[in-house]
Amino acid sequence: MESRGTQMGHVRFVLIFTISLVIQSAAANSGFEGAPDLHPIEDSFLERYRTTSEFIYRQTNGRVWVVPSESLVDGRGFPRLFIDLFGSPLRSDFVNTAVVYDYSVKSKHHPWVAAQNMAYEAMQVEGLPRSEANLVLMLLRATGTRWATKGPGNCFSRCHGPDANLEWRPIVKDEAVLELVKWARNSRLTVEEIELRVNEIILEEGPHSVIGIM
């Protein structure tokens, strides 16, 4: 008869094995599904497109990002300094990521930090080198749009109603961000290191900075 210690060891092994299978399954099922099929809106002075089919990105953590058919995207979800350095995100080497991220900024269905993390992962799936992805993440963390998701779970909704929208961008000097460009183009940097460095140059994070972001 097996001892209690041996039985517990078997249980731990089964749990670890099961968790490993779940993680591997999530990773195997991650990635893009479909194509954005962007249709230009001709009567606009700005670069604007409408998607003609549903487009999906599945993250390795299991979060699913859906861009419905007939969604409007224009790249304006990306900050100005990003466009200065990379050009139009909708004509970049990671256009699929750009479509999903731009729509996420407009729809605000997910927290802003989750959207930025999704973009960081997705653009590498599209083949962008990690050094460039680190630079993009730095720009998004420092100057990208932030928002409060709708619902009763944040202080803004409690003050202004569940359907109120709140979005903002951190207050930061362009010069301070540009000084980090060379530093951020480093494949060895971690997300945590990028966040710590960005926090040093942000002058003001924005309204309702105590809103939960996860």
Return the pLDDT at 115.
Answer: 98
Q: Please list the ranges in the chain whose pLDDT falls under 50.
A: 11, 13-28, 209-214
Are β-strands 31-33 and 72-73 bridged in parallel, bridged antiparallel, or unpaired?
unpaired
Residue with tokens 């080198």: 129
Query: Pick from 51, 63, 163: which is nearest to 111 by CA?
Result: 63
| pLDDT tens-digit series, residues 98-112 | 999 999 999 999 999
- Alpha-carbon distance of 90 to 99, in angstroms, equals 7
Return the pLDDT at 196.
Answer: 98
